[in-house]
């Protein structure tokens, strides 16, 4: 099972980070850690930190063993470039590109292990199951369920209709009130209304 870790916008040029990545590509995780810990290049420290993060992801999330892991893929992509300017002779300026890198690590198992799924009880919920001794009891239960459904439909629809009627009547009454108010002197008020600032 593959495990990934990513480091974005590392403030080092990809060309320099790739020199470190080429050393550890394809190695076992333990050997790669040893290589990075003694390497004198500046990119080795963040790379070691990222490798440790990928190992932790594999152990905690995927339940894999550290001894069985190796670096399947390590990719260094170019990130955004910070543009800076340096004054030069005769009033000119030269651009300085401060490059950034994105590092992607993919760990894989040397010997693939099958993940054992937890056995879940496939039994039905005890709430839904009733033990019935005779066919008569089953028929009685079906009748009770039908009566409950019919009672629910009747009571539910009547309540809903009553609510809708009430809402409609209130709304219509309010509408009539506002209409009657606007008829009384509404035109004069519009003519002499002060404008808001």
- The alpha helices in the chain, defined as continuous H runs, are 14-24, 29-38, 44-60, 135-183, 186-191
Element (H, E) at 7: strand 3-10
pLDDT of residue 149: 83
Please name the CATH architecture into which domain 3-109 falls.
Alpha-Beta Complex (3.90)
101 pLDDT above the threshold of 60? yes
Does the global pTM surpass 0.85? Answer: no
- Residue 107's nearest CA partner among 37, 38, 30 is 30
State both tokens at 29.
Answer: 């995780």
- The answer for residues whose C-beta is within 8 angstroms of residue 95's C-beta and 6 or more apart is 83, 84, 85, 86
User: How confident is the model over 146-169, as pLDDT tens digits?
Assistant: 888 887 766 655 555 444 444 555
Q: What are the residue ranges spanned by the domains of the chain?
A: 3-109, 135-186
121 pLDDT above the threshold of 60? no
User: How confident is the model over 28-38, as pLDDT tens digits?
Assistant: 999 999 999 99
pLDDT of residue 123: 52
Buried b (16+ CB within 10 A) or exposed e, 36-52: beebeeebbebbbebbe
- Name the residue with tokens 């004069």: 188
Per-residue pLDDT band for 174 (boundaries 50, 70, 90) equals: low
Question: Which one is predicted more confidently, 114 or 23?
Answer: 23
On whether the CB atoms of residues 32 and 91 are closer than 8 A, the answer is no
User: How confident is the model over 122-148, as pLDDT tens digits?
Assistant: 554 555 666 777 778 888 888 888 888
pLDDT of residue 191: 59
């Amino acid at each position: 099972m593959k495990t990934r870790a990513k480091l974005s916008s590392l403030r080092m040029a990809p060309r320099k980070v790739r020199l470190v990545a080429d050393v550890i590509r394809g190695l076992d995780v333990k050997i790669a850690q040893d290589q990075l810990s003694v390497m004198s290049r500046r990119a080795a420290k963040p790379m070691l930190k990222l490798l440790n993060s990928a190992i932790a992801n594999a152990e905690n999330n995927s339940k894999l063993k550290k001894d069985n892991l190796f670096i399947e893929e390590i990719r260094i992509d170019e990130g955004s470039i910070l543009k800076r300017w340096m004054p030069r002779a005769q009033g000119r300026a030269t651009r300085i590109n401060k490059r950034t890198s994105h590092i992607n690590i993919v760990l894989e198992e040397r010997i693939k292990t099958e993940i054992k799924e937890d056995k879940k009880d496939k039994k039905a919920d005890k709430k839904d199951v009733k033990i019935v001794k005779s066919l008569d009891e089953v028929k009685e239960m079906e009748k009770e369920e039908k009566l409950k459904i019919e009672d629910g439909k009747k009571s539910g629809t009547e309540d809903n209709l009553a609510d809708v009627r009430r809402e409609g009547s209130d709304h219509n009454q309010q509408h009539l009130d506002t209409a009657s108010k606007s008829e009384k002197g509404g035109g004069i008020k519009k003519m002499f209304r002060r404008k808001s600032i």
